[in-house]
Structure 1
Amino acid sequence: MLNARLLLGRARPLATRQSCVFGRATMTTSDAPIRFGPFEVTEQVFLTTPHSFALVNLKPLIPGHVLVCPRAAHERLLDLSPDETADLLATVQLTQRLLARTYFGTGNGGAATSRDTASPSPSSGARGAGSFTVAVQDGPEAGQTVPHVHVHVIPRTRGDMGEGRPSDDVYVRLAAEAGNVGGALWDRQRRPAPGGDMPRVEDDDRAVRTAAQMSEEAGRYRMTLRDMGVEQ
């Protein structure tokens, strides 16, 4: 079984309310919450590394749309150190392999190997039946709504934007209310149920998910990482 530190160093325990055994590694209870900008997202996180974490999205554009962030709440990509930058990209790649296995039925078709994860080649890992949109909105003028660097990792298949719509329509949605990660989090935390005082952003395509739905998705991804042989 591959130890994740071959790729990412020794991963820190994920903050959860219960211990989870993943292969030989144990993810133990931690009191330290994980924050995405001003928002606590501990229950949405499915992968942690020394410098990064990956979490499911409150309002995904497409099934499997997740975010990868540095642990430190850097506002801009240029604020990351070289070690943080390398770890962030490695975490993005591992997340792509996870999503490829989940949504494309690829990802080497079995347990990851040190060659596949530590030194990926163009023909290995996430390459297969689908593609990925990997995007960073680096600053408010680029559409960033949470002042914390985050990489959108979105699994793509033909026709996923809807019949007759171009595949690059995803960038329009990222820039619009549909991709407003900060707005969705803000709305959910300050007005968790109908009848609250805070005005809700109207959006016909809005699909804000419940905490239980996001926790279930994060749990499925953690199980897939275990099946891939990735220890945290």
Structure 2
Amino acid sequence: MPPLQLPPNLKFGPFPVPHQVFHLSRSSLSYGLVNLKPLLPGHVLVCPVRCVPRLSQLSPAETADLFQTVQRVSRTLERVYSASAFNIAVQDGVEAGQSVPHVHVHVIPRRKGDYDHKGGGDQIYNDMDGEEGDVGKAFLEMQRRRSELAQERKDFSNGPDSDRKPRTADEMRKEAEWLREEMEHDRVNGGEDS
């Protein structure tokens, strides 16, 4: 499968993410990317290509495309993760828990009992709001870690701050490639055109 033709210098907020992107909408207004620290398997983000911090700053075309992309991505995730439900959330502004100043929609496949070990399904909202869901901090940590690894040329552990560790660039690239193939499979077999 040929690589996606991504807009030049595509970023999620200040962070370059070309290897994490698995879907670009036909209009090239929205994209899906795998998450650095997913709360559950298949937790991805859908973002507008244009970087704005608030949902109200998107044009009507960007807003429509963003949520059509959420629908399309959800259909593929439902199939490949055997999801029976989804958490779909937008943290619209800092006070709402947004950690990267770029509109993004969390798309989290769910199954019965998948968060029982954390206290039940609604606990996921607390995790999105807290340290567990701080995407911006995770990206900064990844950049810092890469710099240290380059200087030290040895493994680095970011300590026991969380059970959920940032994934490597290679892990995210592989997941993005797999999801890209699955999105194409659904497009070809389901006749979807976005």
Unaligned 5+ segments in structure 2 are 152-157
Partner of 1:207: 165
Is 2:37 the partner of 1:40?
no
CA contact (8 A) 2:29 2:48 kept: yes
**One-letter amino acid of the counterpart of residue 163, structure 2:** D
Structure (1/2) with the larger helix percentage: 2
CA contact (8 A) 1:67 1:152 kept: yes
CA contact (8 A) 1:178 1:203 kept: no
Q: How far has the Cα of 1:31 moved from its partner?
A: 7.7
The correspondence for 2:69, drawn from 91, 116, 129, is: 91
CA contact (8 A) 2:4 2:24 kept: no
Partner of 1:179: 133
Cα distance in 1 for partners of 2:57, 2:21 equals 23
CA contact (8 A) 1:44 1:214 kept: yes
CA distance 1:224–1:191, shift in 2 (3 Å)? same
CA distance 1:34–1:58, shift in 2 (3 Å)? same
Cα distance in 2 for partners of 1:55, 1:164 equals 25
The correspondence for 2:106, drawn from 138, 152, 171, is: 152
Cα distance in 1 for partners of 2:114, 2:16 equals 30
Q: Secondary structure at the match of 2:116?
A: coil
Partner of 2:38: 60
Q: How far has the Cα of 1:162 moved from its partner?
A: 3.2
**One-letter amino acid of the counterpart of residue 175, structure 2:** E
Q: Secondary structure at the match of 2:31?
A: strand
Q: How far has the Cα of 1:164 moved from its partner?
A: 7.0
Deviating beyond 6 angstroms after TM superposition, the runs of 4 or more aligned structure 1 residues are none
Unaligned 5+ segments in structure 1 are 1-19, 105-128
Partner of 2:155: none
Query: How many residue pairs align between the two structures?
Result: 182
User: Counterparts in 2 of 1:1-232, with a 5 A limit?
Assistant: 20-21=1-2, 27-28=4-5, 32-49=8-25, 50-104=28-82, 130-163=84-117, 165-192=119-146, 193=148, 203-228=161-186, 229=188, 230=192
CA contact (8 A) 1:69 1:88 kept: yes
**For the aligned residues, what is the CA RMSD?**
2.3
Q: How far has the Cα of 1:205 moved from its partner?
A: 1.8
Cα distance in 1 for partners of 2:46, 2:7 equals 21
TM-score computed with the length of structure 2 as normaliser: 0.86
CA distance 1:231–1:187, shift in 2 (3 Å)? same
CA distance 1:231–1:27, shift in 2 (3 Å)? farther
CA contact (8 A) 1:177 1:203 kept: no
1:16-68 Cα distance to aligned partner (Å, 9 max, x none): xxxx34xxxx745x681310000000000000122101000000000000000
Partner of 1:114: none
Flag the structure with larger Rg: 1
Q: How far has the Cα of 1:201 moved from its partner?
A: 8.0
